[in-house]
Amino acid sequence: MTETSATKPPQLRAARARKQSIIKFVILFVTLAFLFVPLLAMLIFTLRHPLSGRWSAAPWIAIFTGNGESLGADLTVLWQGIGTSLALSAVTVVIMLVLLVPTMVIVHIRSKVLERAIEWVATLPLTIPAIVLVVGLGPIYRWLSADVLSTNSIWLCFAYVILVMPFAFRAIAVGLNSIDVKTLVEASRSLGASWPKVFFKVIIPNLWQSILSASFISIAVVLGEYTVASLLGRMNLQVALYQLGQSNSQISTAMSLLALLFGAVLLVALDLISDAMRKSREGK
């Protein structure tokens, strides 16, 4: 009796499989529609003039030719914002890696209690709104701009390191937890390797995938950040898009789509690089 109830007829199994496939298709369709319908609406907006209804690729041509005068838009602010955001991405990633990677490796080896404390501190920016961070960072940046540094937007990197820290911390933590760091360190030290050699030639090669993940996620966060730069009166890509949108919203929307595409390319590149690194390790 138990075996009979446990084994279902093929017709019931086939009907159940069809029902599950339909449910999966509906969920996938709704999810894709939720993600891509706004993007499609943005694309249509860039090609169809909102007042005349005339279809034209002029906003895209203006971006790729660098000349938006025919549409009444000055693209100088756009190129300035792109350059600033790319420079901020590079500087933020470097500072983040220099601060996080050695610190996390040391506390992972020495003290689990301290590691949990650092994790709590690193994830704090997720619970603090950006506008609250600006309230605290505003006086500091005023002092830095007046007495120490200049008003150059590149110094936003210090604030951006705080913003990207939760995401970068989790990415690096996953890599550290996937390898036996203590065993690698003890084996290397017993063979006479110095601490710098252990760090750069033993631990870092095993963390490359996590380091790349943290870097790409940090770049995506920096490229999409608006609140801190706007409230501190600095220029970056998102502030430039907002200012450009005041004169020509079609060009601003088209550039936003390109920024989203660049973020998607980063994620795909991360996946491809991770697969290539995993296959190379398996080949060895």
CATH class of 69-283: mainly alpha
Q: How far apart are CA 96 and CA 93, in angstroms?
A: 5
- In this prediction, residues 38-54 reach a mean pLDDT of 85
- In tens, the pLDDT along 108-133 reads 888 888 888 888 888 888 888 888 88
Domain ranges (residues) in the chain: 2-47, 69-283
The separation between CA 34 and the C-alpha centre of its own chain, rounded to angstroms, equals 21
Phi and psi for 55 in degrees, rounded to 5?
-85, 135
- In this prediction, residues 181-202 reach a mean pLDDT of 85
CB contact at 8 A, 235 and 229: yes
| Residues whose CB falls within 8 Å of the CB of residue 49, separated by 6 or more in sequence, listed in order | 55, 56, 250
- In this prediction, residue 188 has a pLDDT band, given cuts at 50, 70 and 90, of confident
CB contact at 8 A, 134 and 231: yes
- In this prediction, residue 88 has a pLDDT band, given cuts at 50, 70 and 90, of very high
pTM assigned to the model: 0.80
Q: Which of 224, 214, 230 is nearest to 255 (CA)?
A: 224
Q: How far apart are CA 141 and CA 146, in angstroms?
A: 8
- pLDDT of the residue at 282: 65
